[in-house]
Amino acid sequence: MKFILKKIGTLIITLVIISFLSFLAFSLIPGDAAVANLGMDADEAAVEALREELGLNRPVIVQYGDWLFSALQGDFGESTQYHLPVSELVAKRLPATITLAIYSMIIITLVSFPLGMLGTKKPDGAMDTAVTVLSQIGMAVPQFFLGILLTFFFGILLNWFTVGGYVNPQEDLGGFLSFLLLPAVAVAVPKCATMTRYIRNAVVAQKKMDYVRTARGKGNSEKRLLLNHVLINVMMPVVTMLAMMAADVLAGSIVVEQVFNIPGLGRLLITSISNRDYPVVQAIVIYIASTVVIMNTLADIMYQKLDPRVR
């Protein structure tokens, strides 16, 4: 418990530092909200007046404090391109991104564990080599290409879904879920491949340990050996890896969202960057940083639960 509280303390400090650094970075970039609002050709005096009004002339640290105070209350400012509250914009995009992430994580877990263990009975045997080749292919295929392939086969040839026909979850939850399946596959495949390889190597390494020989000597079958002894030891590095992947997909799969025309965070990020919509970019950067830090904290806590040696 103490450990968990300590971890959460570290997490909060990390988030404050990250948000300050990103705030600082945006305040250093030339061109601010006043210029963005009034346009490049606006009257210098008008821009200065707006600056004064928006409080942009105050020291960065005061502006940051102001921003942090509102952010804690859920107010991340207003988007300069849509003239809508940032929180509302992000909240609208989040369901698609999070659902896509959960979907992909489920696929990654369901596929990579069995596949990773499949070849380990005989390392470098035929099955192991087949799994290795398969995972190499999975790692090598770029996501956008996979997305195009999936769209072509299932959307155009088989006509199983409407290409680019995103369904709003509030209107049709079932349609929304089935639409996101293929994008989730596109996100998951390269990560599955990496994970499969990772699990395979971890199992092979663990199987060479002395305690496995002891377990065999007790009369364990290969299956029991794997489930009762090896798997729990394999889980420790794997949990960390899974958490890093989860953070990665939660941050928004920019390419896949683009290919499948999903209105998620990744797409919002791209349009906001190209329109210099800094309040939105700032909010998304903090969202991404938070997911990474939170996921890593979760991994640490899980690791500590799994491994008695670090307790």
Partner 1 sequence: MPLLDIKNLKISFQVKKDTDGFFTTIGEQEVVHGIDLYVEKGQILGLVGESGSGKSVSSLSILKLLPEDAKITADKMEFDDIELLSQTEAQWQALRGDRISMVFQEPMTSLNPVLTIEKQVEEGLLLHEEEKYKDNKELRRERVLAVLEEAGLSDPEELLKKYPHQLSGGMRQRVMIAIAMINRPELLIADEPTTALDAATQEIILDLLKYYCETYKTSILFISHDLSLVARLCDRVLVLKNGKVVERGTKEDIFYRPKQEYTKKLMAAATGKQLAGVSVTNAVPLLQLKNATIEYREKTFFGKEKINTAVKNVSFELYKGEVLGLVGESGSGKSTISKALTGLLPLTKGELIRAEGTGTPRMVFQDPYGSLNPAKKIGWILEEPLKIQGGYTKEERKRLVMEALKEVELEEGHAKRYVRELSGGQRQRVAIAAALIQKPEIVILDEPVSALDVTVQGQILELLYRLKEEHGISYLFVSHDMNVIRRVCDRVIVLYQGEIVEMGTTTDVFEHPEHPYTKELLRNNMAVH
Contact residues for partner 1 (CB under 8 A)?
A: 2, 122, 124, 129, 209-211, 213-221, 224, 228-229, 232-233, 236, 306-309
Give the side-chain half-sphere CA count within 13 A for 210: 0
**Is the CB of 16 or the CB of 133 nearer to partner 1?**
133
Q: In this structure, what token pair is assigned to residue 279?
A: 């309040």
Distance CA 242, CA 35 (A): 43
> What stretch of H or E contains 8?
helix 2-28
**Contact present, 184 and 107 (Cβ < 8 Å):** yes
**Is the CB of 160 or the CB of 211 nearer to partner 1?**
211
**Is the CB of 39 or the CB of 308 nearer to partner 1?**
308
Q: Supply the minimum distance, in Å, between the C-beta of residue 213 and partner 1.
A: 6
Q: Supply the minimum distance, in Å, between the C-beta of residue 90 and partner 1.
A: 38
**Is the CB of 149 or the CB of 209 nearer to partner 1?**
209
Distance CA 40, CA 238 (A): 51
Q: In this structure, what token pair is assigned to residue 96?
A: 């698609």
The owner of tokens 């305040």 is: 27
Q: Supply the minimum distance, in Å, between the C-beta of residue 121 and partner 1.
A: 9
Q: Supply the minimum distance, in Å, between the C-beta of residue 195 and partner 1.
A: 20
Q: Supply the minimum distance, in Å, between the C-beta of residue 196 and partner 1.
A: 16
**Is the CB of 83 or the CB of 309 nearer to partner 1?**
309
Q: Which of 96, 66, 95 is nearest to 279 (CA)?
A: 66
**Is the CB of 2 or the CB of 83 nearer to partner 1?**
2
- The DSSP bridge partners found for residue 85 are 78
The residue type found at 238 is: V
Q: Which of 257, 268, 252 is nearest to 81 (CA)?
A: 268
Q: Which of 260, 304, 237, 230 is nearest to 104 (CA)?
A: 260
Q: Supply the minimum distance, in Å, between the C-beta of residue 1 and partner 1.
A: 11
